[in-house]
Amino acid sequence: MAPIIDIHTHLFSALDIPIEGYLRSRRSEKSTLSNPEYIANFFPGPQIFKYLADRMRERVITRQIKKDKLGPFYKFLLCVFEKIMEQHIREWEDSLTKTLARNASDLQKIWPKVDLYIPLVIDYEYWFSNTMDTRIDDQIRLMYEKVILPSRGKFHPFVPFDPVRELTFQDKLMNPDGQKEDISSLKLVKDAINEKGFIGVKLYNSLGYKPTGNKDTDEGKDRITQLYRWRIGVRNEKMLYRFDGNRMDDVLNKLYAWCEKEEVPITAHCMMHGIEAYPQASEHFGSAKFWRDVLDKYPKLHLNLAHFGWNPVPGHGYHAQDNWMREIVDMICKYDHLYADVSHHEVTSRGIRKELVDAYKKIQNDFESSLDKIRQHILYGSDWHVLRRMNNYESFMDRYIEIMAETGFYDEKSQDDFLGLNAMKFLGLNPGGQNRARLESFYKTHKITPPPWFQAAND
Ligand SMILES: [Zn+2]
């Protein structure tokens, strides 16, 4: 039996992320009046964001006490947002106001065929103004107690690493709550992987740090990266955390070296737009090509560039300058342990679906001689619950399988690679893999019978 693995999901609630700061970070001077990013600048934009964020955070609690109805004003605002953004905001709100455990149960109901779900925990606290309510170490503990242990092998998440939290800890500075930072990001990662059933690390470059090369080479002439980081400091009220680029690289290198040695896979957000420190931060910090230097230095590191470098704006498909899919395919040909997941591709909207079909056809033309290798390095992933904003999100998996069959990228036989077997390699879960050994002892310690997908890998 080949397993089905969803390599990219989320379970977080509005209490786990600085939600108001994120909403406000989207403000932009560039756009027109029809654009919510522009409207966010002026009264009552910021006030509305604050109200929405407060209400969402409160509802995570009240929904656990009683059946909390939306309320007419809140519902009205959500509807207005839906109209402006042309996304199903009320659907997403439903997940953002539920606990980890309830979200985990919802997810299993939508795609019950999936054998293993990988929720990615994220650490946004040091990049957006205001703070989150649940400390990141509590989020890890809750994930362990409320999701990993009860699921008995159905959920194994990725733990986030944040270089700025690590440096703040090292320098004994205040965290955004005004307390001395007592969490080492690196220690948090190691503990989650070694003791708590987590199986990988999540990085988020669009928040404001490059995979490496955070120090500008020529001060004065080329201080671009540093200036972009200062911009985040000013915009998002985080001036305290402008660490030297060399030090950011140092702690990131420590992480990469440890992950390579221990065979711990990394997933890095790699898409234009999406959640980012300011509009376009993804381009300045998270471009796929920035990973080349890391992979040259750590050739055995297992890396997944999430979202396949896709640009979700219509008309910016495979051939566009600001679409990194082609670059990633080129990198997959060169590096042996680089993967890309297809999460959050809008396969249920007709226009984008056409662009994706076109992309998979063109890859087969452009990289004809390396197709076998490329097919071994693409991973199925949904990006649920963020995906709930999309039309007909429930059909995401079926639509993707359909596109792969239609373009001839995967036929019925090789479809197993896409849906799970490639992920088994990326995750190091086949016999001999270090993650497999860690899970074996985790199951033993907690008296969990290894799940069928885990046992099947022995056959
Ligand atoms: Zn995601």
Domain containing residue 398: CATH number: 3.20.20.140
Cα of 353 vs centre of ligand 1, distance in Å, is 19
Query: CB-based contacts of 337: which residues, under 8 Å, 6+ apart?
Result: 295, 299, 300, 301, 302, 303, 426
The model's confidence at residue 162, banded by pLDDT at 50, 70 and 90, is: very high
Q: How many domains does the chain have?
A: 1
What does the pLDDT look like over 262-298, one tens digit per residue?
A: 999 999 999 988 889 998 899 999 999 999 999 999 9
Question: Among 67-71, 190-194, 424-428, 439-443, which is the least confidently predicted range?
Answer: 67-71
What is the pLDDT at residue 154? 98
Specify if 359 maps to a domain. yes
Specify if 256 maps to a domain. yes
Specify if 228 maps to a domain. yes
CA separation for the pair 347, 329 (Å, rounded): 20
Cα of 10 vs centre of ligand 1, distance in Å, is 7
Cα of 22 vs centre of ligand 1, distance in Å, is 15
What is the pLDDT at residue 207? 95
Cα of 9 vs centre of ligand 1, distance in Å, is 6
What does the pLDDT look like over 298-340, one tens digit per residue?
A: 999 999 999 999 998 889 999 998 999 999 999 999 999 999 9
Cα of 385 vs centre of ligand 1, distance in Å, is 8
Specify if 403 maps to a domain. yes
Give the phi and the psi of residue 340 in degrees, each rounded to 5. -140, 130
**Kind of pairing between the strands at 303-306 and 378-379:** unpaired
Cα of 386 vs centre of ligand 1, distance in Å, is 7
The model's confidence at residue 121, banded by pLDDT at 50, 70 and 90, is: very high
The model's confidence at residue 219, banded by pLDDT at 50, 70 and 90, is: low
CA separation for the pair 284, 371 (Å, rounded): 30
Q: What is the largest CA-CA distance in the chain?
A: 62
- DSSP type of residue 206: G
Cα of 220 vs centre of ligand 1, distance in Å, is 36
Would you say how long the chain is, in residues?
459
CA separation for the pair 30, 158 (Å, rounded): 35
What is the pLDDT at residue 31? 60
Higher pLDDT, 219 or 330: 330
Cα of 326 vs centre of ligand 1, distance in Å, is 21
Neighbour count for residue 226 (Cβ, 10 Å): 16
- Show the domain range for 170: 5-15+99-456
Question: Among 47-61, 89-103, 205-219, 241-255, which is the least confidently predicted range?
Answer: 205-219
Cα of 217 vs centre of ligand 1, distance in Å, is 32
Residue 415 has pLDDT above 80, yes or no: yes
Cα of 45 vs centre of ligand 1, distance in Å, is 26
What is the pLDDT at residue 35? 67
Judge residue 190's burial from the number of C-beta atoms within 10 Å of its C-beta, 0-12 exposed, 13-18 middle, 19 or more buried.
middle
What is the pLDDT at residue 34? 58
Cα of 221 vs centre of ligand 1, distance in Å, is 36
Cα of 384 vs centre of ligand 1, distance in Å, is 8
Specify if 82 maps to a domain. no
What is the pLDDT at residue 67? 79
Specify if 54 maps to a domain. no
Specify if 61 maps to a domain. no
User: Crossing angle of helices 396-406/350-366, nearest 10°?
Assistant: 40
Give the phi and the psi of residue 117 in degrees, each rounded to 5. -105, 140
The model's confidence at residue 84, banded by pLDDT at 50, 70 and 90, is: confident
Cα of 8 vs centre of ligand 1, distance in Å, is 6
Contact 245, 280 (CB under 8 A): no
What is the pLDDT at residue 7? 98
Neighbour count for residue 116 (Cβ, 10 Å): 23
Please provide the average confidence, as pLDDT, over all residues in the chain: 93
Q: Provide, for the chain, the percentages of residues in helix, strand and coil under a 3-state DSSP scheme, each rounded to the nearest 5.
A: 50, 5, 40
The model's confidence at residue 1, banded by pLDDT at 50, 70 and 90, is: confident
Residue 221 has pLDDT above 90, yes or no: no
Specify if 40 maps to a domain. no
What does the pLDDT look like over 20-72, one tens digit per residue?
A: 888 888 787 776 655 667 777 777 878 888 999 999 999 999 999 987 788 89
Q: Tell me the average pLDDT across 418-422.
A: 98
Cα of 142 vs centre of ligand 1, distance in Å, is 19
- Among candidate residues 303, 342, 329, 331, the one with its CA nearest the CA of residue 426: 303
Beta-carbon neighbours within 5 Å of ion ligand 1: 383
Cα of 445 vs centre of ligand 1, distance in Å, is 31
What is the pLDDT at residue 33? 55
What is the pLDDT at residue 250? 97
